[in-house]
Amino acid sequence: MALTTEATRTAVSPPRLTTRLPLRWLGLLPFLLFATLFLLLPTLYIVVGAFRDGRGGWTIQNVLDLATPSIRSAYWLSIRISFWSALLGCLIGFLMAASVVLWGVPKRLRNPLLTFSGVASNFAGVPLAFAFIATLGPAGLLTLYLRTEFGINLRAYGWNLLSAWGLIVTYLFFQIPLMILIITPALDGLRREWREAAEVLGASGFQYWRMVALPILFPSILGTMALLFANAFGAVATAIALTGPSLNIAPILLYAQIRGDVLGNPHLGYALALGMIVITAAANAIYIVLRARAERWMR
């Protein structure tokens, strides 16, 4: 009877619901906190601010003002600078990575190259701008050396560091290392059996790269180029420190609008930032899609 009563009590009593956070999720809390505070909330603030006016009302005039000639030309110049820095960064970075991984350059250079790339890919802002001004500026070390020792006046050949091409060359300092870091695992994924099979079938080295290697690497290369484009398009500190207001690009125009140096309309600055977010988000989405496609070949 006692056993029956105990079994009845156990069957009738509702189960206790216990909610417990698994310990393995605790390591993600700092990431979630920083992503919320410094990514999600600022982005939401920019989106809302882009559709507000100075009196707090809702408007789409700020977004419509992005079509004005000065802002449109700033976006177009930023797109061109980002495109060329991404294209040259992909080309040079690919050649450097392939030289170490595939083309017989001593393997002992691989670790120093990757270590330098990891440091240089994060070297930007005021220090990078100062380094290039001190080296390739009008009174830079290399500029004066070429002029005094070899009679080569870079200015006479059209070189100007404080220009669009000067900014592109400066961006290459962190674009090339980033390309090396991303494309090296993809080059490591090229299997030796694929090349051996191509050689057995009579393919030359050029045919192997044209018909086998490059089609496999193309999604990785194109995706990395999209990432480098977004990286350059969103660079603000380097452009401001290097050229100041002399170059009309979107990050500098955004900085001026937020500070109120030109038109004194921070909400137009929010609209500028929203446009930059849309462009960089599209580039990053292309990178994610192509990266996932490339990883299927490397499995």
Chain segment 87-101, per-residue pLDDT in tens: 999 999 999 998 888
- Which comes out higher in pLDDT, residue 215 or 22? 215
- pLDDT on residue 199: 84
Residue 187 lies in a domain: yes
- pLDDT on residue 264: 61
What share of the chain has pLDDT > 70, as a percent? 89
pTM of the model: 0.83
Residue 26 lies in a domain: no
Residue 103 lies in a domain: yes
Residue 21 lies in a domain: no
Residue 170 lies in a domain: yes
Q: How many domains does the chain have?
A: 1
* Segment 184-192 mean pLDDT: 85
Residue 265 lies in a domain: yes
- pLDDT on residue 178: 93
What share of the chain has pLDDT > 90, as a percent? 20
The mean of the pLDDT values for the chain is 84
- pLDDT on residue 106: 80
Residue 231 belongs to domain spanning: 48-298
* Segment 214-236 mean pLDDT: 88
Q: Residue 237 maps to which CATH number?
A: 1.10.3720.10
Residue 200 lies in a domain: yes
Residue 231 lies in a domain: yes
| Chain centroid offset of residue 72 CA | 22
Reported confidence tier of residue 3, pLDDT bands at 50, 70, 90: very low
